């Protein structure tokens, strides 16, 4: 890596004391390069994130905030419609993330195997990643129409009586999750492909010489050696799933009833209704959920990688 010239590092560190040659002791890597980014990031990301903790404890009209202690959180956890948003968020994130890992890995194996038309297949699987989420959501809302939709028409041909998808309270959340997987599996697939392609050929050849079958090769070589890719896919899709809003909003707006509401849609609804304090409490809850899941998980997954 870039450790060829270690000289510069101590020189930079002792910049204030050491009598460096030249005019003054200025590093060629000045800290003011951080400044413009730091100002924007600080004002529009860090300040809101920190002040959210205070504002979530207030009754808030944007212009003045009245401290009311934990009332917003009490409301949040007492209201069944809001609490269900929390469980839906977890279900949605776990389902989409799990499906993307499994399907992404299968597709990646398929697309690195000896088949014709790999380029076409990769493109077609990946393209939905780049398409507008709202556009995908509206399209699938039509495709999933219970009576006229293309999906149930197709299922009817094969004799299956398709569910009501988005209008059935039991399936609404999972139907949206299905579309999320359709749209997002391409990203998981290309990450897995990158992981598989980076495995040295010799391993596969050695396995072949040893008489390993396809399953053994997958289990003993592909799976352990593409672990960084797997960790990435899990973490990325979990973060995305926990925060997800636009697809759900485009397809069900949290309905029918509150059966597909997630924290992010609760935040928006409370914001629209003018309950800024409550909305911000939702934001803090989301922040805590995401960090409580993602940070330990990434520690765990990355540590195991070192152990191997």
Partner 1 sequence: MSAVPAPGPRRKPRPNYLLSAVAFLASLVVFVVPFVFVALTAVKDRRQAADLDFSWPHRFRLVQNFVEVIRARDYLLIIAYINSTVLTVASVTLMTVLAAMVAYVLQRRRGRWNGLVDFLVLAGLIIPPAVVPTIWVLQRLGLFRRMPGLILVEVAFGLAFCVLLFRAFIATIPRELDEAAVLDGAGPARLFFRVILPLLRPVIVTVVLVQSVFVYNDFVNPLYFLPGEQNATVQLTLYNFNSQFSTQYNLLFMDILLITIPPLIMFLAFNRQIVAGMTAGAVKG
Q: Which of residues 80-119 bind partner 1 (CB under 8 A)?
A: 110, 113-117
Nearer residue to partner 1 within complex by CB, 135 or 169: 135
Q: Which stretch binds partner 1 (CB under 8 A): 77-85, 216-224, 230-238, 254-262?
A: 230-238
Answer yes or no whether residue 246 interacts with partner 1 by CB under 8 A: yes
Q: What is the Cα–Cα distance from 39 to 43, expressed in whole angstroms?
A: 6
* Cβ at position 169, least distance to partner 1 in Å: 22
Which residues, 250 to 269, sit near partner 1 by CB under 8 A?
250, 264, 267-268
Nearer residue to partner 1 within complex by CB, 80 or 239: 239
Nearer residue to partner 1 within complex by CB, 36 or 69: 36
Nearer residue to partner 1 within complex by CB, 171 or 268: 268
Q: Which stretch binds partner 1 (CB under 8 A): 27-35, 71-79, 94-102, 159-167?
A: 27-35
Residue indicated by tokens 């992010």: 264
Q: Is residue 58 within a helix (H) or strand (E), and if so which, with residue range?
A: strand 58-60
Instruction: Produce one character per residue of 223-249: b if its CB has 16 or more CB atoms within 10 Å, e if not.
Output: eebbbebbbbbbbbbbbbbbebeebbb
* Cβ at position 126, least distance to partner 1 in Å: 7
Structure tokens, 154: 């197709």
Q: Report the residue from 20, 83, 90, 129 that binds partner 1 according to the rule CB under 8 A.
A: 129
Q: Which stretch binds partner 1 (CB under 8 A): 4-12, 159-167, 168-176, 254-262?
A: 4-12
Structure tokens, 9: 């590092």
* Cβ at position 70, least distance to partner 1 in Å: 18
Q: Which stretch binds partner 1 (CB under 8 A): 70-78, 90-98, 162-170, 288-296?
A: 288-296
Answer yes or no whether residue 5 interacts with partner 1 by CB under 8 A: yes
Answer yes or no whether residue 305 interacts with partner 1 by CB under 8 A: no
Structure tokens, 224: 């352990």
* Cβ at position 240, least distance to partner 1 in Å: 10
Nearer residue to partner 1 within complex by CB, 16 or 80: 16
What are the percentages of helix, strand and coil residues in the chain, rounded to 5?
70, 0, 25
For residue 282, what are the contacts with CB-CB under 8 A and spacing of at least 6?
A: 76, 82, 85, 263, 266, 267, 270
* Cβ at position 83, least distance to partner 1 in Å: 19
Q: What is the Cα–Cα distance from 218 to 63, expressed in whole angstroms?
A: 59
Name residue 58's beta-bridge partners. Answer: 67
* Cβ at position 282, least distance to partner 1 in Å: 9
Number of neighbouring beta carbons within 10 Å of residue 222? 22
Number of neighbouring beta carbons within 10 Å of residue 130? 9
Which residues of the chain form beta strands (DSSP E)? 58-60, 65-67
Which residues, 188 to 217, sit near partner 1 by CB under 8 A?
190-191, 193-195, 197
CA distances from 236 to 267, 274, 306 (A): 22, 32, 20
Q: Which stretch binds partner 1 (CB under 8 A): 2-10, 77-85, 161-169, 217-225?
A: 2-10
Which residues, 143 to 182, sit near partner 1 by CB under 8 A?
143, 145, 148-150, 153, 182
Which residues of 61-138 form beta strands (DSSP E)? 65-67
């Amino acid at each position: 890596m870039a450790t060829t010239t270690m000289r510069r590092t101590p020189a930079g560190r002792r910049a204030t004391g050491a009598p460096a040659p030249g005019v003054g002791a200025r590093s060629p890597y000045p800290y003011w390069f951080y400044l413009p980014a730091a100002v924007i990031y600080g004002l529009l990301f860090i300040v809101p994130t920190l002040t959210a903790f205070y504002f979530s404890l207030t009754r808030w009209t944007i212009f003045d905030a009245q401290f009311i202690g934990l009332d917003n959180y009490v409301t949040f956890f007492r209201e069944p419609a809001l609490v269900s948003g929390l469980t839906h968020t977890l279900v949605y994130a776990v389902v989409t993330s799990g499906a993307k890992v499994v399907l992404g890995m299968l597709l990646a194996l398929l697309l690195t195997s000896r088949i014709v038309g790999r380029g076409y297949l990769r493109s077609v699987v990946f393209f939905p990643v780049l398409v507008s989420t709202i556009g995908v959501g509206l399209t699938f809302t039509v495709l999933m129409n219970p009576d006229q939709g293309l999906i149930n028409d197709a299922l009817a041909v094969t004799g299956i009586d398709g569910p009501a998808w988005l209008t059935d309270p039991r399936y609404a959340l999972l139907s949206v999750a299905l579309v999320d997987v359709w749209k997002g599996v391409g990203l998981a697939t290309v990450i897995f492909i990158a992981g598989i392609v980076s495995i040295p050929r010799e391993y596969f050849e050695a396995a072949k010489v040893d008489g390993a079958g396809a399953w053994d090769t997958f289990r003993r070589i592909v799976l352990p050696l593409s672990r960084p890719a797997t960790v990435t896919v899990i973490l990325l899709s979990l973060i995305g799933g926990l925060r997800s809003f636009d697809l759900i909003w485009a397809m069900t707006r949290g309905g029918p009833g509150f059966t597909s509401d997630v924290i992010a849609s609760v935040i928006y609804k409370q914001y629209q209704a003018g309950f800024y304090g409550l909305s911000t409490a939702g934001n803090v809850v989301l922040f805590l959920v995401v960090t409580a899941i993602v940070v330990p998980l990434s520690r765990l997954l990355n540590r195991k990688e070192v152990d191997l």
